[in-house]
């Protein structure tokens, strides 16, 4: 079946470095992508989203890049801080007609920021 | 108020017990969700309510029974659970039901079934 996955299950970076978290998706019909951050003991928190008619979107210290040709999504975090340590999930969705849709999460990447 | 509140935060129950998980939001959202998350795994959709009516049931066993008493509340009634049902149960809400709606998650209820 269709799935959303991640290349790297864990990523360890030094404080102040830039982080890049990757995600591959297989459903060519996906038209909306979201990155979530989940800290220990908390629910997923929305970070940034991107629609399929875009290839780049920037937020505060975060940038999402979308390459539809190779079905690849990445999250870039600038000047990574200890508070960025968390599991990061990509998620994809597409309209299935009417209001019927399903948000599919990728496997997640654990980001550890070393001081 | 941009919070989704879940109670209890932790729950331990036996396989013969009946318990309920509760979720509340006051953002005026009309869609509410239950997700199940096993350790080190992504959340998996269980149920979706839209305008207080069940819209999606992802083939969840009947020992899980959702209820939406009003637009702000969502319950998950548990009965005769199995140890493999131990997981983090997450509630979420969104303004509407659609492919590009932003989901707001609660912190979850960590459930242990003995």
| Structure token pair of residue B21 | 């998980």
Task: List the single residue in B with minimal CA-CA distance to A30.
Answer: B99
Q: In 3D, which of B111, B114, B113, B112 has the Cα closest to residue B22?
A: B111
Mean of pLDDT over chain B:
94
- Phi/psi at A10 (nearest 5 deg)? -135, 150
The predicted-structure confidence for B43-77, as pLDDT tens digits, reads as follows: 999 999 999 999 989 999 999 999 999 999 999 99
Q: Which residues of B touch A42 (CB under 8 A)?
A: 107-108
CB B30: neighbour CB atoms within 10 A?
A: 16
Would the pLDDT of B18 be above 70?
A: yes
Say what the pLDDT of residue B1 is. 61
> Which among B42, B96, B106 has the least Cβ separation from residue A106?
B42
CB B85 within 8 A of CB B98: no
Express as a percent the part of chain B with pLDDT over 90. Answer: 89
Residue A3: pLDDT band (50, 70, 90) is very low
Chain B nearest-CA distance from A114, in A, is: 21
C-alpha–C-alpha distance, residues A106 and A63, integer Å: 18
CB of B100 within 8 Å of any CB in chain A?
yes
Q: Which two tokens stand for residue A39?
A: 């800290």
CB contact under 8 A, A44 and B98: no
Tell me the nearest-neighbour CA distance from A41 into chain B, angstroms: 7
**pLDDT band (50, 70, 90) for residue A21:** very high
Residues A21/A75, Cβ–Cβ less than 8 Å: yes
Flag whether residue B111 sits within 8 Å of chain A, measured between CB atoms: no
With bands split at pLDDT 50, 70 and 90, how would you rate the model's confidence at A4?
A: low
Contact B45 A103 (CB under 8 A): yes
Between residues A6 and B75, the one the model is more confident about: B75
Instruction: Specify the residue for token string 């496997």.
Output: A107
Q: Residue A1 — pLDDT band, cuts 50, 70, 90? A: very low
Q: Cα distance from B92 to chain A (closest Cα, Å)?
A: 9
Of the candidates B40, B43, B99, the beta carbon closest to that of A95 is on B99
Report residue B108 CA to chain centroid gap: 8
Q: Which residue of B has its CA nearest to A36?
A: B103
């Amino acid at each position: 079946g269709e799935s959303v996955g991640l290349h790297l299950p864990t990523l360890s970076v030094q404080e102040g470095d830039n982080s890049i978290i990757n995600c591959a998706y297989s459903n060519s019909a996906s038209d909306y992508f979201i990155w979530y951050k989940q800290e220990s003991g908390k629910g997923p928190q929305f970070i940034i989203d991107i629609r399929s008619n875009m290839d780049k979107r920037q937020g505060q210290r975060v940038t999402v890049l979308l390459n539809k040709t190779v079905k690849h999504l990445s999250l870039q975090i600038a000047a990574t801080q200890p508070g960025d340590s968390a599991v990061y999930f990509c998620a994809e969705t597409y309209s299935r007609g009417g209001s019927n849709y399903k948000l599919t999460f990728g496997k997640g990447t654990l980001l550890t920021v070393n001081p | 108020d941009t919070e989704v509140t879940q109670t209890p935060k932790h729950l331990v129950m036996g396989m013969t017990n009946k318990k309920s998980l509760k979720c509340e939001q006051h953002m005026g959202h009309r869609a509410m969700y239950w997700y199940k998350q096993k350790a080190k795994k992504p959340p998996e959709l269980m149920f979706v309510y839209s305008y207080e009516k069940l819209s999606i049931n992802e083939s969840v066993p009947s020992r899980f029974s959702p209820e939406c008493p009003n637009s702000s509340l969502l319950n998950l009634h548990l009965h005769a659970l199995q140890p493999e049902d131990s997981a983090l149960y997450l509630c979420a809400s969104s303004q509407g039901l659609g492919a590009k709606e932003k989901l707001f998650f609660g912190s979850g209820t960590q459930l242990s079934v003995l």
